[in-house]
Structures are given as C-alpha cells and as structure tokens.
Amino acid sequence: MFCSSCGSHFSSQDKFCGKCGSKVGGTPSQAHKEMAATSEPGPHNPQSSASQQASAQLQNLKESEFVKQGQAVGKAYFSFALTAFKSPFTFARNMSEASIVNGLISIILFALIVPMTSWWASRNAYFSVPFFETVVIPAVVLTLGVLLMVGVMNGVLKLMQVDADFKMVVSRFGALLVFPVAIGLVGFIFALLSAKAFGSLIAFVSLMFFPLTFLGTMFSFDKKRPGGLDAFYGIILTNVLITIIALILMLIVADAVISNLIPSGIGLPF
C-alpha cells in the first residue's frame, strides 16, 4: 500500500504512515500541506517569492557595481597608457604613489602577454599545449618576480639616499613599462593573425626593452640628499640583482612548463 500524502510504501497492518505520519486511508495531513505550501514556489508562497526577488535584485546590483568599477579602472588605465606611450620618461617623472594601480596593471599585462603569445604560437594540429601550465603559471611567476625586482630597485634607491617608496617606484616603473607592453601586444596580435613566427619575434623584442625600464625608473628620481651609494654603483648593483632574479624565474618557469608538457604527449628531442 502507498500513502496518499507522500507516496511512501507501508504495510497493510500500519495505521499511520511511517514517513509523514498521515493516517492510513485518510486525507493528506495538515502538516504535510503546510510543508508543501512553504516549499513550493509560486502564488502559494508570496514571502518566498519576495525574498528570491530581493536576492536576485541584490545580486544584479552587485554585478552592476562590479562592472562599473571595472569600466572605470579600464578607462583610467587607457588614459594612463596613452599618455605614458606619448612621453614615457616625462610622464614617469610626474608619477606619484596614487597611480600604483595603473603600474600594477602594466606589470600584470606584461607578465601575461609574453606567455600568451608563446602559447598561441606553439599551438598546432599535432598536439595540444596546456593553457594553465604554459600561460597562467608563468604569468603568476613573472608578476611576482617583477614585483620582487621592483622591490630590489627600491632598496637600492634608498641606499642611494633617494626619496622614494615602493608605491611610487611601482607607479613610475609601470608608466615606463607601457612601451614594452604595447610591443608585446602587437606581437600577440600578429600571432593571432597566423603570423606566429613574426609575432613571437616581436614579443621577444619587447623582452629586450624590459631592462631599460629599470634604468629609466632609477633616472626618474632626483637625488636631493647628500651621501649614500653612488649612482654608478647603484645601477650596477640593481642590474646584478635583477639578472640573478631573472635567471631564477627562467628556471622556475622552464621547469614548470617542461614537466607539464611531457605528460601531455609532447616529446622532447633528447
């Protein structure tokens, strides 16, 4: 036999349903009706519908605010990049710590464009190149590595008795990095247009301009206090430390990419 309230099976000797408690052979229990009324959407439960509508409106409002903030940040960076591209050094000298967000965006874009171009250029019909291992991991490692390099440069500037803090250094460095980012973006566009070899070459050229960004950033600060490390030795120390960090980053990225490409079926020539 089956319960008329919940449809559960029970024995013919039972007087009440063991699941919902309804009397055998009777009408559905009042508790079951109330439970169904509160659980089912529609006109029977206006309170539930109202709460669902309020939750949906709140979610849409949050998404709208997030989109507006993203658009505002994008417009601000576009204006920042356009001015920096026209007069990189002059614009960088006038940067303050308030532009750190734009500087961080430049660093993230540079760290993302280079592996993206390499990933797209290496794709073909014979094997698939994993996106996460060849783009995401290198981009994260490069972003953190570049921030570490900027921190090293900031430390050397302090040894030179230059009035500079980390936020200001990031802002000026990001302004000067716009030019390499623009070159890398051009290379990525050529790679998308099937000119993969030429696009990879342009992306490599953007890497060649990367060390010059550090020199430009250091020269954008004026030494207003006497004493400290001489500028010549400061540049040498910065280049040595940045080169060491760059070599370590290359080893980390190469190890991560190669170790993930081998299981994917990409054979190595040795």
Cβ(183)–Cβ(209) below 8 Å: yes
Q: What is the DSSP letter of 128?
A: P
**pLDDT band at residue 57 under the 50/70/90 scheme:** low
Question: Residue 22 — φ and ψ, nearest 5°?
Answer: -70, 150
| pLDDT tops 80 at residue 1 | no
Tokens of 38: 């509160």
- Tens digits of residue pLDDT in 208-244: 899 899 999 999 998 777 888 998 999 999 999 999 9
Structure confidence at residue 36 (pLDDT)? 47
SS3 (DSSP) at 253: helix
Read off the pTM: 0.71
Residue 193: DSSP 8-state: T
SS3 label, residue 132? helix
pLDDT digits (tens, 9 = 90+) for 243-270: 999 999 888 888 776 766 554 444 444 3
